[in-house]
Structure 1
Amino acid sequence: MATQQIKHEPVSSIRAGDLEVGYIDSGSGVPLVLVHGGESDRTQFATLRAHLGAGIRAISYDQRDSGITVNPPVPYTPGDLADDLVALLDALGLERAHLLGTSFGGTVVQHAALRHPERVASLILVATTPSFALCPKTVDELFDMSHDDRQKAVADLFITPEGQAKLQTRAARTLAVRDPEKSGRRHDAARQHEIRDHLGEIAAPTLIVHGTEDLLAPYSGAALMEQRIPNAELRSIEGGRHGITMEFAEPIAGWVREFLGVAAA
């Protein structure tokens, strides 16, 4: 795996619908919105962003109860988070964008593709699932852990044994600190995710990237998405676990560029 310098991009905020949203906007070219996982924030994609190269405008943002985004303290659904994403596109003046979501972020972009198909140029679904019901009880156990215990657990869950020497600390740092109320709202939203019977309605071209040994979002869910989404292709990472956007950032970035039709960096 090649070493790539990770830059700390400047953070901005913007009014998007009823929210004040924190985001990072870097590069120029094809707009690609990066949607973070359930326990992370806009900074999750630092490693992947470093490999994306020229020709891609990469935008990552803080969902509700994440990072510096300010939202009302009320419950929400994956559909609400999908609407928030489209409100961000409006605020940024983007009629359409490509959406890459990992883990819980992948569920958000699935709902966006169903609720707002005209705004989605394509989907890239990484280490995600079409249904929370497919996830093992390990996910609920993680939800119930303290932040410190969760940081200790993610090394084995996110990174292969071969990659842990380099990436164990970085994996732990992708987890954002939240108070119990914010965590509870996000966990409740995650548990509502169920679109298996609607996968055939996703019209956007879809790239699915999944590790064959993902311990949080089973590979069977990726296979089901490839089978049911009309215009989908699956790229597998043999032995990969849940943190593939970090451990395998370089090949995934290459697949993303190829999928988006951006010339080799």
Structure 2
Amino acid sequence: MHPTPDVMAVETPRRIPVGDLTVAYTDSGEGEPLILVHGGESDRGQFDALRPFLGPGIRAISYDQRDTGDTVNSDEPYTIADLGADLAGLVESLGLDKAHVLGTSFGGMVAMHAALDHPERIQSVALVATTPNRSFTGPALDRMLELEPAARRAFMLDVLISPQGQAENPALVDRARSVLTPRSDEQNTRRNNAVAAHDCLDRLAGLQMPALVVQGTDDPLIRADAAEEMAKRIPDARLELINGGRHGIATEFPHLVAGIVREFVHTHPTLQ
């Protein structure tokens, strides 16, 4: 059985200018600053289940990316590198010298670019269920991108949560559905185009901060060898595999992911 936390009631989002954006974010806890970067189908609420397991000593900050939730941006196209610059800009706008970053899936791609292009703002990086480029994706990704939004949301449940998790925990199923965020066709197109151009595989050896890679062994969207390849290329990276985990490991196994991340963050503190 998977423990189901009492998902915290999040506050009304705060808003902060970051470049030309108005970024909506949620900020809770005190201690090591940890920026939580949501996946391609989600928004900042994706991490509501993870927060209770992070424990004391961590300030958890989740935010809405462009074309997501309550963040306001123009209709101009953008790249994953642009989103990485937004992330670094958020760290600066919050008045932080550096922050730890945890990115899942699409958010992991954003975290990679932030760490590579703006290392002065990133203390450590945790890459969860993500990939350095499209070559490590399974057929489920192409199928997902072909679907209309309503069909995509239904398809994503099996991508995110294991059959055992779905059978044993109805609350988990409801939570997985709740993190899937509606977007307009134009918003989805901008995000899909950004993913299609994402490729930083050959740059990973240049990551200069502590790195953690976490992956489910049964992820139908991103193959486990993506994590193995990233851990091999990133200097001194730590690799953690979650047996039986699918793409939504931070939702299905928040206790495991949070425990791994908590220990990692406190091993590499910004606060001395």
Q: Same fold (TM over 0.5)?
A: yes
Structure 2 match to 1:116: 118
Q: Could you tell me how far apart the structure 2 residues matched to 1:106 and 1:14 are? A: 22
Q: Could you tell me how far apart the structure 2 residues matched to 1:4 and 1:172 are? A: 16
Structure 2 match to 1:255: 260
TM-score, L = length of structure 2: 0.94
Q: Could you tell me how far apart the structure 2 residues matched to 1:156 and 1:43 are? A: 20
Q: 1:209-240, CA deviations, whole angstroms, 9 ceiling, x for partnerless residues?
A: 10011111110100000100002010110111
Change (3 A) 1:169 1:3: closer
What SS does the aligned partner of 1:178 have?
A: coil
Query: Does structure 1 retain, via aligned residues, the 8 Å contact 2:92–2:121?
Result: no
What SS does the aligned partner of 1:234 have?
A: strand
| Percentage of pairs with the same residue | 49
Q: Could you tell me how far apart the structure 2 residues matched to 1:65 and 1:155 are? A: 22
Query: Does structure 1 retain, via aligned residues, the 8 Å contact 2:88–2:122?
Result: no
Q: Could you tell me how far apart the structure 1 residues matched to 2:113 and 2:143 are? A: 25
Amino acid at match of 1:9: V
Amino acid at match of 2:4: T
Structure 2 match to 1:176: 181
Of residues 53, 64, 70 in structure 2, which corresponds to 1:51?
A: 53
TM-score, L = length of structure 1: 0.96
Q: How does 1:1-265 map to 2 (within 5 A)?
A: 1-10=2-11, 11-165=13-167, 166=169, 167-261=172-266
TM superposition shift of 1:155: 1.9
Structure 1 match to 2:270: none
Query: Does structure 1 retain, via aligned residues, the 8 Å contact 2:111–2:125?
Result: yes
Amino acid at match of 2:107: G
Q: Could you tell me how far apart the structure 2 residues matched to 1:182 and 1:8 are? A: 27
Moved over 4 A (4+): none
Q: Across the two proteins, how many residue pairs are aligned to each other?
A: 262
TM superposition shift of 1:63: 0.4
Change (3 A) 1:138 1:2: closer
Q: Could you tell me how far apart the structure 2 residues matched to 1:177 and 1:49 are? A: 23
Residues 150-159 or 19-28, more deviating: 150-159
Q: 1:127-170, CA deviations, whole angstroms, 9 ceiling, x for partnerless residues?
A: 00011232133213212322221221122111111101322222
What SS does the aligned partner of 1:94 have?
A: coil
Q: Could you tell me how far apart the structure 1 residues matched to 2:223 and 2:146 are? A: 20
Query: Does structure 2 retain, via aligned residues, the 8 Å contact 1:204–1:231?
Result: no
Task: Structure 1: give runs of 5+ residues left out of the alignment.
Answer: none
TM superposition shift of 1:2: 2.5
What SS does the aligned partner of 1:83 have?
A: helix
Q: 1:166-224, CA deviations, whole angstroms, 9 ceiling, x for partnerless residues?
A: 22222122111110001100010011111111110011111111001111111010000
Q: Could you tell me how far apart the structure 2 residues matched to 1:132 and 1:119 are? A: 26
Q: 1:57-97, CA deviations, whole angstroms, 9 ceiling, x for partnerless residues?
A: 00000000000111010100011000111111111101100
Q: Could you tell me how far apart the structure 2 residues matched to 1:195 and 1:260 are? A: 24
Q: Could you tell me how far apart the structure 2 residues matched to 1:192 and 1:215 are? A: 21
